[in-house]
C-alpha cells in the first residue's frame, strides 16, 4: 500500500526545513535516544505550541503550525523513522518488527494504520480490512492528519515515560485509542454508524478505553495511560487537554439529548476523576485526582473533593502543559488542615 501522493505522505526530509544548527541539534537528540535517560525530546523550532507552552491566543505561532500541517514537510515522521533505525541497530531482535511497522511505510498515516490494524484485529475483523479503513479515512482528512501529529507531540512533551516519537506510535495505548476514535468519529459523521460502533467496541476490548464515536475531541490531547477512560456521546473535549487514567465524562442517568460534560481548552484532569452531566469545565482549570464534579468549573480554577469545590486558582494559561499535579496536592492538604483547625 502506498501514499496517494507526496502531499499526502508528507515525505520531504527535515534537512530541507531546518538550519544547519537545527539539523545538528536534531541529530544530537536522536543519536542519544538509546544512550541517555535525559534525551532532548522536542523539536522546539518546528512545534513551538507545545514545547514552549504557547496558548491558542498566540495567532502567529498557530498560523506557522497550520501552514506546516498543510505542507509536504513532516518532521514528526522523519523523527520516527530516524528513531526506528537507531533502535533497529541497537536491538536487532526488533529489526523485523520495526521494518514492518515503520520503515517499510512511506508516511505516518500508513504506519499508524498498520499499527492500529494489528492491535485491533480479531478472527472476524481482519487486519487488512482495518488497515484499508484507517488509511482511507486518515488520508482524506487534513484535520486527522494534523491531530495525529499534535497528539504524538503532546505525549512527547507531557509524558516523562514517553521515550520517543517512535515508542508513542508503537506502544502507547492512550495514543492508539485516541487515533482510532478519530477514525470512528469521522465514520460516524459520514453516517457509517455501525462500523464506528464496531471500532468503539474494539477500542474498549483491547485498550480499556471507551469513547463514543460521536464525542468531539480536540487536538494536542494526552490520555496518560488511558486505562479506564470513559467519554460519553455528547461530550466535548477542547484542545490541549491532559487526562489521566480512569476519568469519566458521563451522564447523570437516563436523560437523553445533550447530557455530557464540555471540557474547555488547556484543562488538566487528574486520575479517577468523575465529571457528570451537561456541565462546563472552564478553560485552563485543574481537577484533583478522585474528584466528583457535578457543577460548572470556572476558568483557571482548581477544584477538588466529592463533590468538588473550588480550592484555588491557576496562574498559568494552560496547566495541561506543565502537568503540575503537585500544586493540587498542596492545596488539598492545606484545605484539609484549614478545615480541621
- Residue 325 confidence (pLDDT): 63
Q: Note whether 181 and 269 are same-domain residues.
A: no
Q: Note whether 202 and 226 are same-domain residues.
A: no
- Residue 320 confidence (pLDDT): 79
CATH number of the structural domain spanning residue 149: 1.10.3130.10
The answer to whether residue 60 is domain-embedded is no
Chosen domain end from 207, 240, 275? 207
Query: What domain count does the chain have?
Result: 2
Can you give the pTM of this predicted structure?
0.77
List alpha helices for 57-163, DSSP H. Answer: 59-69, 75-90, 95-98, 108-120, 127-139, 142-158
Q: Note whether 160 and 240 are same-domain residues.
A: no
pLDDT at 27 over 70: no
pLDDT digits (tens, 9 = 90+) for 55-103: 333 444 444 444 544 556 899 999 999 999 999 999 999 999 999 999 9
Q: What is the dihedral of CA 71, 176, 197, 215, to 10 degrees?
A: -70
Residues 6+ apart with CB under 8 A from 190: none
How far, in Å, are 38, 49, 177, 210 from residue 228 at the CA level?
30, 29, 11, 8
With residues binned 3-state (H G I as helix, E B as strand, rest as coil), the percentages for the chain, rounded to 5, are 50, 15, 40
The answer to whether residue 133 is domain-embedded is yes
Please tell me which residue, 173 or 11, carries the higher pLDDT value.
173
96: containing domain: 74-207
Q: Note whether 238 and 256 are same-domain residues.
A: yes
The answer to whether residue 34 is domain-embedded is no
The answer to whether residue 273 is domain-embedded is yes
Chosen domain end from 207, 236, 255? 207
Q: Note whether 162 and 237 are same-domain residues.
A: no
Instruction: Please name which of 133, 113, 29 lies closest in space to residue 75, comparing C-alpha atoms.
Output: 29
Compute the radius of gyration of the chain from its Cα atoms: 20
Collapsing DSSP states into helix, strand and coil, what is residue 30? Answer: helix
Q: Note whether 239 and 293 are same-domain residues.
A: yes
What is the Cα–Cα distance from 95 to 89, expressed in whole angstroms? Answer: 7
pLDDT at 26 over 90: no
Q: Note whether 237 and 162 are same-domain residues.
A: no
Residues 6+ apart with CB under 8 A from 173: 206, 207, 208, 209, 225, 226, 227
Residue whose grid cell is 537545527: 22
pLDDT digits (tens, 9 = 90+) for 90-123: 999 999 999 999 999 999 999 999 999 999 999 9
Cell of 75: 518532521
What is the Cα–Cα distance from 79 to 290, expressed in whole angstroms? Answer: 37
Q: Note whether 325 and 262 are same-domain residues.
A: yes
Average pLDDT over residues 319-329: 70
Q: Note whether 267 and 150 are same-domain residues.
A: no
Q: Note whether 105 and 141 are same-domain residues.
A: yes
Please classify residue 93 by burial: count the beta carbons closer than 10 Å to its beta carbon, then call 0-12 exposed, 13-18 middle and 19+ buried.
Answer: exposed
Q: Note whether 185 and 267 are same-domain residues.
A: no
Amino acid at each position: 500500500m502506498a501514499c496517494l501522493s507526496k502531499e499526502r505522505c508528507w515525505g520531504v526530509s527535515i534537512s530541507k526545513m531546518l538550519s544547519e544548527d537545527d539539523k545538528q541539534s536534531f541529530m544530537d537528540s536522536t543519536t542519544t535516544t538509546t544512550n541517555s535517560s535525559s534525551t532532548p525530546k522536542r523539536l522546539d523550532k518546528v512545534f513551538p505550541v507545545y514545547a514552549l507552552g504557547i496558548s491558542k491566543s498566540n495567532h502567529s505561532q498557530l498560523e506557522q503550525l497550520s501552514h506546516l500541517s498543510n505542507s509536504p514537510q513532516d518532521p514528526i515522521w522523519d523523527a520516527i523513522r530516524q528513531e526506528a533505525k537507531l533502535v533497529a541497530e541497537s536491538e536487532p531482535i526488533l529489526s523485523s518488527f520495526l521494518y514492518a511497522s515503520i520503515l517499510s511505510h512511506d508516511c505516518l498515516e500508513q504506519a499508524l494504520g498498520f499499527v492500529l490494524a494489528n492491535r485491533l484485529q480479531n478472527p472476524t475483523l481482519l487486519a487488512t480490512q482495518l488497515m484499508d479503513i484507517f488509511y482511507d479515512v486518515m488520508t482524506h482528512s487534513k484535520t486527522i492528519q494534523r491531530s495525529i501529529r499534535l497528539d504524538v507531540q503532546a505525549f512527547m512533551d507531557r509524558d516523562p515515560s514517553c521515550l520517543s516519537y517512535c515508542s508513542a506510535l508503537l506502544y502507547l495505548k492512550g495514543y492508539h485509542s485516541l487515533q482510532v476514535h478519530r477514525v470512528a468519529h469521522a465514520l460516524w459523521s459520514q453516517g457509517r454508524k455501525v462500523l464506528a460502533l464496531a471500532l468503539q467496541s474494539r477500542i474498549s476490548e483491547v485498550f480499556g478505553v471507551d469513547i463514543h464515536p460521536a464525542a468531539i475531541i480536540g487536538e494536542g490531547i494526552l490520555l496518560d495511560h488511558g486505562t479506564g477512560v470513559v467519554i460519553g456521546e455528547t461530550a466535548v473535549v477542547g484542545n490541549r487537554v491532559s487526562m489521566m487514567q480512569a476519568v469519566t465524562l458521563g451522564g447523570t442517568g437516563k436523560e437523553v439529548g445533550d447530557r455530557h460534560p464540555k471540557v474547555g481548552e488547556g484543562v488538566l484532569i487528574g486520575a479517577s476523576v468523575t465529571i457528570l452531566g451537561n456541565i462546563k469545565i472552564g478553560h485552563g482549570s485543574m481537577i484533583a485526582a478522585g474528584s466528583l464534579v457535578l457543577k460548572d468549573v470556572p476558568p483557571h480554577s482548581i477544584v477538588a473533593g466529592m463533590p468538588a469545590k473550588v480550592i484555588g486558582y491557576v496562574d498559568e494559561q494552560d496547566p495541561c502543559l506543565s502537568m503540575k499535579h503537585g500544586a493540587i496536592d498542596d492545596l488539598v492538604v492545606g484545605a484539609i488542615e484549614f478545615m480541621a483547625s
